[in-house]
């Protein structure tokens, strides 16, 4: 169901461009769209109708499902404790609260991430929408905003730059409404947006890859790695390929970034002997083909390739068990 345009009087509104369709909103989300304050605002059902949008904002801000859900829970506590007599647009109000909480949480997490054991990667999530998939243009926007490559780049932005990028690029907020959310002038928000966009454009993948091509390369990589075929692996890898593995020191994985086709190929060839003990599934992770590796039916590892000019340029591996819940819980896609 397409999301209605926002028409609040004092809260943020999207009247120049509608927000992307919330994938899991039901008919309850229609409550209050005409601007009238209704008794339903006091119910948990109203909050639940917007939970998926709030979780999507918080996840793109924080890069972790658990942190995003903590922020959304805090937003719920504030929502339930607030009288809300002047709230005419529940979703606008809740997005504002969630964004501000996410900014605060991001600042708190900085020191923790600096002390993290080994490389830090965003937590992967399944984004296989199935029959509920949004239209092609919207899906492309959502996939880009949640891609691991973009989320990695967003880690280098300031909290305010990240908030502006997420709200404008992923959820379609005009700058005037973001200014209200962040309590900044529109001119300041535009400056933040410009810096964020330049930074992301400089560091994002250089190529737009066809999904079919990416999946095909993923399948060939998986076959070569599983068979320990060193020559086939080297042929698939860019000369300057980088392997980044996140285990948090809690599982066996490289604790430093590995660079170069020969080193990366030899790493995968060296671990190929263990392949028979695992189940491999190709699924959509963070908007693109990825490999979910299961041990005893439970997620053990997620692997995703960044592809450019027909070769693998980056290999991302997630093996921290605390950061595999988003691919094994059966939660709906963001």
pLDDT in tens, 283-292: 999 989 999 9
Which pLDDT does position 6 carry in this prediction? Answer: 32
- Give the CATH architecture of domain 27-119: Orthogonal Bundle (1.10)
Domain 211-328 sits in CATH 2.60.40.10: no
Distance between CA 53 and CA 310 in Å, rounded? 35
Rounded to an integer, what distance in angstroms lies between the CA atom of residue 143 and that of residue 229? 32
pLDDT tens digits, one per residue of 93-146 = 899 999 999 999 999 998 888 899 999 999 999 887 555 555 555 556 566 778
Q: Domain-by-domain residue ranges, the chain?
A: 27-119, 211-328
Characterize 103-117 residue by residue with b for buried, 16 or more Cβ atoms within 10 angstroms of its Cβ, and e for exposed: bebbeebeeeeeeee
Size of the chain in residues: 334
Written as six digits, the tokens of 188 are 């300041």
Query: Among the residues of 174-280, which ranges form H helices?
Result: 175-182, 186-203, 211-226, 230-236, 261-270
- Find, among 199, 196, 209, the residue nearest to 314 by Cα: 209
pTM listed for this prediction: 0.81
Residue with tokens 């093996």, as numbered in its chain: 319
In tens, the pLDDT along 211-258 reads 899 999 999 999 999 999 999 999 999 999 999 999 999 999 999 999
């Amino acid at each position: 169901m397409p999301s209605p345009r926002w028409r609040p009087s004092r809260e943020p509104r999207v009247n120049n461009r509608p927000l992307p369709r919330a994938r899991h909103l039901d008919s309850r989300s229609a409550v209050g769209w005409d601007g009238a304050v209704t008794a339903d605002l006091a119910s948990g059902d109203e909050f639940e109708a917007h939970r998926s949008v709030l979780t999507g904002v918080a996840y793109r801000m924080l890069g972790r499902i658990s942190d995003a859900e903590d922020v959304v829970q805090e937003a719920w506590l504030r929502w339930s404790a607030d009288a809300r007599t002047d709230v005419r647009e529940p979703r606008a109000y809740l997005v504002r609260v969630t964004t501000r909480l996410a900014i605060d949480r991001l600042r708190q997490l900085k020191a923790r991430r600096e002390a993290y054991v080994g490389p830090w990667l965003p937590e992967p999530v399944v984004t296989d929408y199935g029959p509920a998939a949004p239209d092609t243009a919207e899906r492309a926007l959502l996939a880009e905003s949640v891609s691991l490559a973009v989320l990695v780049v967003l880690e280098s932005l300031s909290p305010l730059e990240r908030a502006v990028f997420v709200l404008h690029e992923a959820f379609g907020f005009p700058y005037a409404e973001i200014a209200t959310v962040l309590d900044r002038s529109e001119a300041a928000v535009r400056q933040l947006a410009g810096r964020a966009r330049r930074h992301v454009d400089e560091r994002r993948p250089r190529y737009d890859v066809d999904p079919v091509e990416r999946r095909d390369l993923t399948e060939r990589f998986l076959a070569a790695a599983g068979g320990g075929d060193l020559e086939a692996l080297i042929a698939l890898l860019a000369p300057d390929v980088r392997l980044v593995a996140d285990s948090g020191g809690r599982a066996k994985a490289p604790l430093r970034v590995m660079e170069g086709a020969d080193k990366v190929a030899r790493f995968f060839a060296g671990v190929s002997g263990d392949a028979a003990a695992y189940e491999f599934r190709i699924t959509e992770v963070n908007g693109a083909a990825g490999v979910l590796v299961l041990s005893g039916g439970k997620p053990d590892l997620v692997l995703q390739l960044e592809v450019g000019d027909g070769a693998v340029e980056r290999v991302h591996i997630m093996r921290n068990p605390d950061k595999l819940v988003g691919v094994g819980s059966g939660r709906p896609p963001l």
